[in-house]
Structure 1
């Protein structure tokens, strides 16, 4: 049978992940990999997970092995709701849905909100797997510039006036750059989205006509119904705040989530916000259990639940109960500072090694947390040839061009510092720097 003509049109937008394919190569013995966004396996709390699983099966095995609610285990949703509530607003359990890793949340959001041609504003460069999740919906991605303070909010105003359904951000230690959206820009972004104040003052009057009296359109009005919301007010753009690395800060002061800065409780205590917040246990506990969450207004959660019911019914009940047991036993709160210390040392080691071994003319970001940094090479360096030469010396990285939407980044590479030990980081950067020096010397 000839299968190719039978595939749906949307599959033309699908492609294998560059990172996932590269990981097949990096699994070879002796390879020092800076490629995947992989936690350090030697730091997994394996004995604690084994004990938690045993406790769950012994005490509530029948419940943990049964089908569960699509929204997720109630006690876990209660814990997430309490953790994200603040004095000025409350997150209720009905504002929380458990997902099979936050990657599933991206898939569900794309199905629920995106129609073909919808404009999606993204940082440039941006998270590669988000592009993979949403490309089949055939939106129009619009790349936005960023600098050391994160997204350049000044570029938003004319784009919002033209209409945008979503803006996708990783505000803390962004993948692939490792940069963080500064507090002034977080406030500026929300003011711009909500139309409360134009930004910046010297250019705002050109772009936005909405004033402080505008009433935001509820997120439910922007569901993928095939129609745009009809309102005399400025259309609301939804912010997708993807926060997998937020707990992994090694320097600088913690910053409030966009959800925290924007959310309030309206009539009846309903959560009101333009932010859909995504989180995961993969980076701070273990990725293999595949448990994450979404926080959003209840009407958005309801629609996401409908989409999830068609996808996988529910996230593994057993995995949710194991996560809950780890939380109750204090493992999560012990694990986070442990990871901060270990990954902070690895970040520092990589930054020092880059300074020692990379040639003049190369620059790199200096993340305050997370798992990645982005290196920019002299423009004439051919990144594919560099990768081939590096792999021959048993060092792997991810070329940066796939993270860019505008054809840029062909002289950039993403380095992960969480997976390798400090000793292997030093050796791997030394090897990679040696390859670069040779390429520059030979032209």
Structure 2
């Protein structure tokens, strides 16, 4: 795949990073189920441990199956490199780890997955980090939230749960003016619908558990490095620009250039945090990505039909799908997500909390699960589950109020999904 940039998305999602197995000729990427790798000799081992040669040492750090997945996701996102890890939450910590120090903060959107809000508002405090939450539709407020201790700006391209589309061009301009990296969670959009790096993102994170795998079988995460940020332009990022004691004074940015963040995340992040993706999970995700464009096309087609129908239903108060002309984010679709607004959105019911619970319990085709991005259509009442740890104010800011259900539209026959929603809505308001 030396000419990979010239290939189309459909070709890259199948071939990028993959080559026939040199030992057996196997066409599908094998699952390299091994913990360690035999060195050629003592000199080879020393070169690997000293970061003088790229290769395999121990599967906490690198694994051939995972390496193929990393290259494939990096290629689809247009990045210089990528590091896979055990979950989307792990990917968020991996993204922040080389950037932050005690006393530092990240400016984050209020429109985030509830677990991310909890991670940023509570858990990262134990590292001595903090987060300032801002409405990213208020660009002046985002810029005003940045201070001398800010080390990153974080948002979702298509926000969970409401499907709101972030103006990545505007936010990346703010980040660039402040000399800060922009981290974009592209889980809900996938690189098929949105390319955050083209809109100025420095790092892109994924929960590969969702649309990239697409079949609800394994958890995983990924951090993609654009390779475009100058980590040495200031003294804000010493982990990447200054001498690293653990590697005899090596400076990651000086030594690895565009791949500085990627190498640091492997050589230090995975080495010490140990949030490793297992090779079987990588294998399932690779197989899922092979059909990503086909699935996303159907996801978007179904979501468009079903959201239009829901908007006219007598028991529905509002639908947040950005692909609807009534959405305040409709104008951003062509620019940020030109192939469609995704398949994730929320529905506000006129019957409030009780109607939401009854609707969820009355559905037959929709699965009531704490997941999204599956080929199956999924539903959840966020306020009582994924966003339960948030305050009432935080729930409302995230678009997960008590009268709201989140829907992840799958790839089934749209008419069947509409019929299921209709009977459940009518029963909930009987």
Q: Same fold (TM over 0.5)?
A: yes
- Asked whether the 8 Å contact 2:82–2:262 carries over to 1, the reply is yes
CA shift in 2, pair 1:399/1:343, >3 Å: same
RMSD over aligned Cα atoms: 4.0
Q: In the superposition, relative to structure 1, how do residues 351 and 131 fare at CA in structure 2: closer, same or farther (>3 Å)? A: same
The verdict on how the C-alpha distance between 1:340 and 1:433 changes in structure 2, with shifts beyond 3 A counting, is same
Q: Of the candidates 342, 346, 349, which is equivalent to residue 302 of structure 2?
A: 346
**Residue number in structure 2 paired with 1:301:** 262
The match for 2:124 is 137
List per-residue Cα deviations over 1:177-229 (Å, max 9, x = no partner): 11223xxx32221221121xxxxxxxxxxxxxxxxxxxxxxxxxxxxxxxxxx
**In 2, are the aligned partners of 1:72 and 1:98 still within 8 Å (CA)?**
no
Q: Given that residues 316 and 349 in structure 2 are in contact (C-alpha distance below 8 angstroms), is that contact kept between their aligned partners in structure 1?
A: no
For 2:313 and 2:23, locate their aligned partners in 1 and report how far apart those are by CA, in whole Å: 51
For 1:243 and 1:360, locate their aligned partners in 2 and report how far apart those are by CA, in whole Å.
Answer: 29
Any stretches of 5+ residues in structure 1 without a counterpart?
1-47, 86-90, 196-233, 263-273, 439-443
Inter-CA distance 359–399: structure 2 relative to 1 (3 Å threshold): same
Q: What runs of 5+ residues in structure 2 fail to find an aligned partner?
A: 1-13, 36-57, 228-258, 324-339, 369-378
1:375 aligned to 2:347? Answer: yes
Larger RCO of the pair (alpha carbons < 8 Å, separation 6+): 1
Rounded Cα–Cα distance in structure 2 between residues aligned with 1:278 and 1:322? 19
Query: Quick one: structure 1 residues 434 and 163, their matched pair in 2 at CA, closer, same or farther if it must change by over 3 Å?
Result: farther
SS at match of 2:303: helix
Residues 289-368 of structure 1 aligned to structure 2 (within 5 Å): 289-296=218-225, 298-305=259-266, 306-312=268-274, 314-320=276-282, 326=287, 332-333=289-290, 335-359=291-315, 361-367=317-323, 368=340
The residue aligned with 2:425 is 433
Question: Which position in structure 1 is the counterpart of 2:32?
Answer: 64
1:278 correspondence with 2:205: yes
2:159 aligned counterpart, secondary structure:
coil
Structure 2 residue aligned with 1:393, among 346, 351, 362?
362
For the residues of structure 2 that align with 1:392 and 1:316, how far apart are their CA atoms? Answer: 35
How big is each residue's C-alpha offset from its partner over 1:314-352, in whole Å with a ceiling of 9 and x where there is no partner?
42235446666x5xxxx845x133213432342134214
Work out which of the residue numbers 169, 174, 184 in structure 2 matches 1:187.
169
**CA displacement at 1:176 relative to structure 2:** 0.9
Map of 2:406 onto structure 1: 414
Q: 2:186 maps to what in 1?
A: 243
**Where does residue 177 of structure 1 map in the other structure?**
162
> Relative to structure 1, is the Cα distance of residues 300 and 424 closer, same or farther in structure 2, using a 3 angstrom cutoff?
same
CA contact (8 A) 2:97 2:269 kept: yes
Secondary structure at the residue paired with 1:165?
strand
On the 8 A contact 1:350/1:429 being kept in 2, the answer is: no
1:98 equivalenced with 2:53 (yes/no): no
- TM-score normalised by L of structure 2: 0.58
Q: Say whether 1:166 aligns with 2:152.
A: yes
Residues 237, 432 of structure 1: alpha-carbon distance in 2 compared, 3 angstrom cutoff: farther
CA distance in 2, matches of 1:133, 1:166: 15
Q: CA deviation at 1:363?
A: 4.2
Whole-angstrom distance in 2 between the partners of 1:317 and 1:56: 18
CA separation of 1:170 and 1:360: change in aligned 2, threshold 3 A: closer
Conserved in 1, the CA contact under 8 Å of 2:105 and 2:132? Answer: yes
The change in CA–CA distance for 1:288 and 1:162 in structure 2 (over 3 A counts) is same
Cα deviation, residue 66, structure 1: 1.6
**SS of match in other structure, 1:347:** helix
Aligned residues: 308
**Does residue 108 in structure 1 map to residue 108 in structure 2?**
no
Q: Is the Cα contact below 8 Å between 1:71 and 1:98 reproduced in 2?
A: no
